[in-house]
A and B are shown apart, each in its own frame.
Chain A
């Protein structure tokens, strides 16, 4: 691959103002597809969830999925959009083998939702409001697998396979207005915006919202405007940037790449670009002109969608607290530092920590277990942390420590047991016999034995050198297999030595 020349990022920002725009595709998690009754599900054999309609067979006709309309309206409302009183689907026409009908049923000039905004907070505390132009409904295409050839792309392949299980799956495409003034924060704005969309979608429950599985896909538009001028530069559209980190990297890369070309006196080609996760670079896709002619016209096989105002208001009433507002509320309620809170958010642990607190744990304990030991185990096992134990388990563990029934060290052993499926923390304590020995008689017996075995230490303690007690405490804890409260042991050691 040709290596692009890049201009130093700070230099690029000094000379040019980056102008951004994002198109985020959200795959809805409806039971059935957008325009037919086939399951919106994956994992079965290729082309199993298909019918005459989503296969584009002659005679097939679309029917609108009402649940998808509902999800789209809720998403539109959560983005602060107006909801159209009447809107139509349109046919976007182009020939491609993954497009069963050779047109995509989409929305064109009549989106279901329009004129919204999302406010994002950057790490610096800077707030940026991204204006949403529209959120419209459309269907996904099938999945192509190109076999043979070097690149895995259609060019040069020996043949290609099409799986239409994904064809007709409902999507909402969220389009921003142009984002100006981000300056050096531009890459972070991209990441934070897509993260905000992901959080909103997740809070609504309208999508599985896993970027790594393509439930949310981002196309990033980047252009540069020379400082001191007003005219927008030529933009590129980097397609399918599918992780938050990649959004940030791709925006940064395009800024540096475009700046290098412009500085060398070149011009930017208006085109789509492919994102390469491994190398962190983009490469040229197909030229994209504003005059691309998709011959849109209103879909005659569908009647207009006309959501009643009553229904829209009913749906508005179902909206959860906006993720940003919720974060502010929880951070204040929990008294976390900004860093502590970010740990929780970045780990995707907000829900479980909240539930753990609700189950009775202190916010500090909840955070400590989820971001510490549990995250460590999850990373080691390569599984999602929230699948390891329940918030109730963590709350119970926390209570056992607070009661003095467990030490931190014992608690970690208990947790291993819970993760291993041995039961609730209380059950694991019971089964493994891990409870702290709080029977003073047993402790005193062990202490007397240890003191007798180390008469020199006893003498030192009697001389008032209490720090010498450490050796005895250690021996007692060892004899108790750690299942004793060290502080209590210390008290008793001093007591016995004084006798």
Chain B
């Protein structure tokens, strides 16, 4: 029998629908894989103890002739930022250790409704603050390509899980690149949808105006299939768009088989092209080769300028801490989560809150709460939060001009390949700069995608390509992404992830 963990979600779905395999088999295969490799990878914070029951129920419904969703029976991993009513949801933080939400995030409810089988909760930087998953309170995740390196972050758990074949697809969340940057450094695919395209209800908020839930996978089609399940209007999220969305999976299929590239105008963002250095040589090389391949395939390449991107990281690191400092205030020990009694002195509610937050938050979270609290302080608001909001408008204007010239924009998805664990963790500025390519999309609310574009010659590690499309044009992103994915995979003769070194499997 084929190794079911090597199949894509689309392939699993096909075999499930044809009843060649059962969901129990598919689920068991992934649980076995988790048991065999996750000791080294540490992609999961919690593995579901009832995934097989869920799978069995799906199998029975299918056997009874029920019409099921396309991904029914396919296992899925869920980033720990999302509330699940049957598994602890900690957002990678000690302050929420063991917290079992009384409700499901809308996206999780939609997964269950569609018959997907949650395998467990994936590791992440605490409250999604970080680019390496090293800021998780529960220890780092390791990159399946090289266990000494980070899988990116904050959603390193989800990207490592799919890259290590522990799950075919996963949910992530992207505030400044937390889906796309981990995808880039693990050779997987990740999509940040248009802001408002996917419900945030039940996603533990980092920065409300930037957060967006999205799919993590090994192929563009799989991401599209998962996007179709989780996307669409949710009345519980006031910022949720009421658009009728086209099928992203259909767009991906169209892109993979059509001749889109012959008509595609591809914009290369000057400020994100590595022209002025700042990108690892192998990243720059693979990006230039991809541009050449696109040209050869008939695409029109145009260089576009986005002068305001210069201020993107600075604006982001004002808006994010400001909103995060507010969103995390509720972690106060009163209603849920950790409660720590202060040592010595009177036990007042203020001192309990203070002791709890001191013990429960990690250093990076504290750093950003302090930054954000300062940025919102009276007298500083206009200079910091106010100015940063103006930068957002400028960046939106840059994108509007760029998309007048190009259908999609491309850039490397991350400036470097996976860096070594511990190498940047004490250098927050260098860590923050990891998101220089991904942040503009969050500030502007537009959709972005990362797909593999080869291995860097100097270290043999995956390099990611980022695609960006105008707001609400997620389908365009899937169509173009699938077309480029097909172009590159065909040129290699295999998928990039098939080249990942084998992980040591421990016997169960």
* Structural contact, B330 and A101, CB atoms closer than 8 A: yes
Q: Within 8 Å of chain B (Cβ to Cβ): is A103? A: yes
A302 to B236 Cα, complex, angstroms: 11
A489 to B205 Cα, complex, angstroms: 87
* Structural contact, B349 and A61, CB atoms closer than 8 A: no
A263 to B494 Cα, complex, angstroms: 91
* Structural contact, B101 and A103, CB atoms closer than 8 A: no
* Structural contact, B335 and A91, CB atoms closer than 8 A: no
- Nearest CB in chain A to that of B105: its residue: A59
* Structural contact, B381 and A297, CB atoms closer than 8 A: yes
Q: Within 8 Å of chain A (Cβ to Cβ): is B91? A: yes
> Contact check: which of A51, A95, A300 meets B323 at CB < 8 Å?
A300
Closest-CB distance, B27 to chain A (whole angstroms):
26
> Contact check: which of A55, A59, A102, A291 meets B205 at CB < 8 Å?
A59
- Nearest CB in chain B to that of A102: its residue: B329
* Structural contact, A297 and B385, CB atoms closer than 8 A: yes
Q: Within 8 Å of chain B (Cβ to Cβ): is A212? A: no
Q: Within 8 Å of chain B (Cβ to Cβ): is A446? A: no
Which B residues are CB-close (under 8 A) to A93? Answer: 326, 329, 376
Q: Within 8 Å of chain A (Cβ to Cβ): is B359? A: no
Kindly identify, within residues 56 to 103 of chain A, every residue whose CB is under 8 Å from any CB belonging to chain B.
Answer: 56-64, 91, 93, 95, 97, 100-103
A95-B353, A101-B330 known; A302+B89 contact, CB < 8 A: no
Kindly identify, within residues 199 to 257 of chain B, every residue whose CB is under 8 Å from any CB belonging to chain A.
Answer: 200-205, 207-209, 235-239
Q: Within 8 Å of chain B (Cβ to Cβ): is A372? A: no
> Contact check: which of A59, A95, A291, A303 meets B329 at CB < 8 Å?
A95
> Contact check: which of A59, A95, A154 meets B202 at CB < 8 Å?
A59
Q: Within 8 Å of chain B (Cβ to Cβ): is A162? A: yes
Q: Within 8 Å of chain A (Cβ to Cβ): is B492? A: no
Kindly identify, within residues 120 to 179 of chain A, every residue whose CB is under 8 Å from any CB belonging to chain B.
Answer: 154, 160, 162
> Contact check: which of A64, A97, A300 meets B208 at CB < 8 Å?
A300
Closest-CB distance, B129 to chain A (whole angstroms):
15
Which A residues are CB-close (under 8 A) to B326? Answer: 91, 93, 103, 295, 297
Kindly identify, within residues 167 to 225 of chain B, every residue whose CB is under 8 Å from any CB belonging to chain A.
Answer: 200-205, 207-209
* Structural contact, B89 and A58, CB atoms closer than 8 A: yes
Q: Within 8 Å of chain A (Cβ to Cβ): is B370? A: no
- Nearest CB in chain A to that of B323: its residue: A300
- Nearest CB in chain B to that of A295: its residue: B376
Q: Within 8 Å of chain A (Cβ to Cβ): is B334? A: yes
A297 to B208 Cα, complex, angstroms: 12
* Structural contact, B238 and A63, CB atoms closer than 8 A: yes
A488 to B276 Cα, complex, angstroms: 116
A201 to B326 Cα, complex, angstroms: 34
Q: Within 8 Å of chain B (Cβ to Cβ): is A464? A: no
Q: Within 8 Å of chain B (Cβ to Cβ): is A320? A: no
Which B residues are CB-close (under 8 A) to A303? Answer: 238-239
Which B residues are CB-close (under 8 A) to A63? Answer: 235-238
A95-B350, A101-B330 known; A61+B102 contact, CB < 8 A: no
Which A residues are CB-close (under 8 A) to B60? Answer: none
* Structural contact, A57 and B322, CB atoms closer than 8 A: no
A62 to B323 Cα, complex, angstroms: 15
> Contact check: which of A58, A101, A293 meets B377 at CB < 8 Å?
A293
Chain A residues with a Cβ closer than 8 Å to the other chain, count = 32
- Nearest CB in chain B to that of A62: its residue: B238
* Structural contact, A101 and B329, CB atoms closer than 8 A: yes
A62-B238, A97-B349 known; A56+B330 contact, CB < 8 A: yes
Which B residues are CB-close (under 8 A) to A278? Answer: none
* Structural contact, B237 and A58, CB atoms closer than 8 A: no
A193 to B323 Cα, complex, angstroms: 39
> Contact check: which of B82, B99, B208, B378 meets A293 at CB < 8 Å?
B378
- Nearest CB in chain B to that of A98: its residue: B334
* Structural contact, B102 and A57, CB atoms closer than 8 A: yes
Which A residues are CB-close (under 8 A) to B28? Answer: none
B332-367 Cβ-contact flags toward A at 8 Å (1 or 0): 101110000000000001100100000000000000
Closest-CB distance, B173 to chain A (whole angstroms):
11
A266-295 Cβ-contact flags toward B at 8 Å (1 or 0): 000000000000000000000000010101
A208 to B77 Cα, complex, angstroms: 49
Q: Within 8 Å of chain B (Cβ to Cβ): is A52? A: yes
A22-60 Cβ-contact flags toward B at 8 Å (1 or 0): 000000000000000000000000000001100111111
* Structural contact, A297 and B376, CB atoms closer than 8 A: yes
A62 to B238 Cα, complex, angstroms: 7
Q: Within 8 Å of chain A (Cβ to Cβ): is B489? A: no
> Contact check: which of A52, A64, A100, A293 meets B238 at CB < 8 Å?
A64
* Structural contact, A52 and B322, CB atoms closer than 8 A: no
A297-B326, A297-B385 known; A52+B202 contact, CB < 8 A: yes
B373-384 Cβ-contact flags toward A at 8 Å (1 or 0): 100111001000
* Structural contact, B200 and A61, CB atoms closer than 8 A: yes
> Contact check: which of B204, B207, B235, B325 meets A58 at CB < 8 Å?
B204
Given contacts A52-B202, A57-B103, list 15 more A-B pairs with CB under 8 A.
Answer: A57-B102, A57-B330, A59-B204, A60-B201, A60-B202, A62-B238, A93-B329, A93-B376, A102-B332, A295-B373, A295-B377, A297-B326, A297-B381, A300-B239, A303-B239
A-B contact pairs, 22 of them (CB 8 A): A51-B103, A57-B336, A58-B99, A59-B82, A59-B105, A59-B205, A61-B201, A61-B205, A61-B237, A63-B238, A91-B326, A93-B326, A95-B353, A102-B332, A103-B329, A162-B334, A293-B378, A295-B326, A296-B381, A297-B322, A297-B385, A300-B208
